[in-house]
Amino acid sequence: MKYDLMASLCKMLISTHVYEYVERIRPAMDSRRYRQAAGREYRAIIERTESIGGIHNQFQPTMMMCAFAIAAYRTAEPLLTPEEFSGMIDAVCNCGMM
């Protein structure tokens, strides 16, 4: 896929909720480094993933949001536990924009 406007919007929609949750459960983590690493990893995931039909496919935004969740998981040091990852997904699903 291309890192285009849709990819930027999907990241923008959920990144604040993900970062707030992770920073709340891991206050000692370097949040600036974490945000930069997660953004780079998200872009890399988007660019190496095959397209599923462009903006006319209703599943593409969901795929992009999942890619951001994977990037946030991969770049957390140490890795998020399954309970923490589940809490992160709950935080995103229960936010006002969903």
> pLDDT value at position 53?
74
**pLDDT value at residue 52:** 79
Q: Number of structural domains, the chain?
A: 1
Task: Answer yes or no: is 11 within a domain.
Answer: yes
Structural domain range at position 88: 5-93
Whether 98 maps to a domain, the answer reads no
Please, what are the averages of pLDDT over each run of 10 residues along the chain (98 residues)?
Answer: 89 91 93 95 93 78 90 93 94 77
pLDDT at 70: 94
Task: Judge whether 68 lies within some domain.
Answer: yes
pLDDT for residue 20: 93
Question: What's the Cα-to-Cα distance from 70 to each of 18, 25, 56, 89, rounded to whole Å?
Answer: 11, 17, 23, 11
Residue 31, both tokens: 């949040």
Indicate the pTM of the whole model.
0.88
Which tokens sit at 63? 């795929």
